[in-house]
Amino acid sequence: MNCLSAFVFVAVLFSSCHAAILPSCTSNETVSSSAGTCSGDLAKFEYFGVNESGAEFGSDNIPGVLGTDYIFPSESSIDYFVDLGFNFFRLPFLLERLAPPATGITGAFDDDYLGLIKSTVEYVTGKGAYIAIDPHNYLIYNGATLTSTSDFQTFWTNLANEFVDNEHVIFDIMNEPYTVNASVVFNMNQAAIDGIRSTGATQLILAEGTSWTGAWTWTTSGNSDYFGNIKDSANNTAIEMHQYLDSDGSGTSATCVSSTIGAERLAAATAWLEETGLKGFLGEIGAGSNDVWFAFTQCSHESSAYNLFSMQAVFGALCSMQQSGVWIGASWWAAGPWWGTYFQSIEPPSGAAIADILPQSLEPFL
Ligand SMILES: *[C@@H]1O[C@H](CO)[C@@H](O)[C@H](O)[C@H]1NC(C)=O
Ligand SMILES: *[C@@H]1O[C@H](CO)[C@@H](O)[C@H](O)[C@H]1NC(C)=O
Ligand SMILES: *[C@@H]1O[C@H](CO)[C@@H](O)[C@H](O)[C@H]1NC(C)=O
Ligand SMILES: CC(=O)N[C@H]1CO[C@H](CO)[C@@H](O)[C@@H]1O
């Protein structure tokens, strides 16, 4: 990747970002331009790529206007990642745009919005890559939490029927539920799986838990009490979790916790996957890319130095996943045409994560 010539990391020698070390921050030291090394018997990801965000934007404008309130991914962005060797895209969309509230979640789909989803699906899968279609609704539809398993089963039966013939489509049941407990979320997932399989579809399904499906809280949120019992007649469901590396795990701050936080936050979830024999999928991971970690400003204003801990933390997370062998995929949050200067944007050509995170922390795991 020609990293050596691209970056010179100027950093001081300490391993975590705590304000306490500020007073001793008296010298810069050049550290390796690599985010790390990952050794052992590594299981490559079957699916590895990015979220392509945009079709779920403008959720306060339903249905909203294409190009004004929401947008679909650009073909050039998809080409860029496929050319690098990535083979997975996650496509968030809004339920209310696909199944308009006037006729409800079990009603007919909006032809235009479905057509746009299908265009992106066909573009991605035409390139040999995989695409997860993701109702990005937090289990909330038209202002109310979805709790009817039969309605949800009907919705997913209808949606799977649209894509049953495309083997590269992945069904991501529901993005980040958080308003109801793990038991309810589990039952909704099970209903969706049953609906999808009733169509004859055999593709990969991704099931997300409550508590924003956080990996770091998987074993304390109640999810681990239920999701071990998931039943799939096609034996092709993986558990999707998300993990951000800022202090509250929300992905809203560019400030890293430490260079090892990624692997640390995944450890309990990885152990649970090993115990249950289920496969994991890290559907969203993200960390600061232009992380202005204030302690460094004492020593260096080199922007590449600010990235170091985020890069190491993401690298360490993916390394631990491939070492464990229980994670089949991962995807960065996020690409998409409308992110602007968002610190996790990986939209080419100049999203904040393109310069360092992509070559240093993601591409080594292709
Ligand atoms: C989960 O929520 C449902 C619906 O509110 C409730 O009936 C059930 O008792 C809750 N289960 C647990 C384990 O808290
Ligand atoms: C399900 O698939 C996994 C591999 O993904 C395999 O190890 C396991 O034995 C299968 N289970 C059943 C019940 O077929
Ligand atoms: C650290 O490096 C920066 C950028 O090269 C420089 O401005 C700063 O003076 C250096 N600080 C120390 C303490 O060497
Ligand atoms: C952490 C993160 O990027 N969250 C985003 C997830 O997607 C929604 C909808 O696009 C955004 O509003 C969040 O900021």
Residue 336 Rama label (left phi>0; alpha psi -120 to 50; beta): left
Structural domain contains residue 353: yes
Count up the domains in the chain and report the number: 1
Whether 37 is in a domain gets the answer no
Confidence bin at 289 (pLDDT 50/70/90) = low
User: Is 319 a member of any domain?
Assistant: yes
How many angstroms is it from 134 CA to the middle of ligand 2? 25
Per-residue pLDDT at 338 exceeds 70: yes
Distance CA(84)–CA(101), nearest Å, equals: 40
Q: Is residue 216 part of a domain?
A: yes
Q: Is 127 exposed, middle or buried (0-12, 13-18, 19+ CB in 10 A)?
A: middle
User: Is 0.75 topped by the overall pTM?
Assistant: yes
Judge whether residue 3 has pLDDT over 80. Answer: no
Domain range for residue 262? 45-365
How much distance in Å is there from the Cα of 180 to the middle of ligand 1? 8
State pLDDT tens for residues 213-228. Answer: 999 999 999 999 999 9
- Does residue 301 have its Cβ closer than 6 Å to ligand 3? yes
Pocket around ligand 4: residues whose beta carbon is below 6 Å from it? 53, 56-57, 244, 251, 286, 333-334, 344
Q: What angle do CA 274, 277, 280 make, to 5 degrees?
A: 75
- Closest residue (by CA) to atom 12 of ligand 4? 57
- For residue 360, pLDDT beyond 70: yes
Chain segment 307-325, per-residue pLDDT in tens: 677 888 999 999 999 999 9
Answer yes or no: is pLDDT of 209 > 60: yes
* Nearest C-alpha neighbor of 293 from the set 272, 282, 314, 309: 309
The CATH code of the domain that includes 226 is: 3.20.20.80
231 lines ligand 3 (CB under 6 A): no
Return d(Cα 267, Cα 280) in angstroms, integer. 12
Residue-wise pLDDT tens digits, 146-168: 999 999 999 999 999 999 999 99
Kindly state whether residue 2 falls inside one of the protein's structural domains. Answer: no
CA atoms within 13 A on the CB side of 27: 4
What integer is the mean pLDDT of 107-126? 98
- As a whole-number percent, the residues of the chain with pLDDT over 70 amount to 85
Residue to probe by mutation, ligand 3, list 8, 12, 300, most atoms within 8 Å of CB: 300
In a domain, 38, yes or no: no
- Domain membership of residue 4 (yes or no) is no
Neighbouring residues of 340: CB distance < 8 A, sequence distance ≥ 6: none
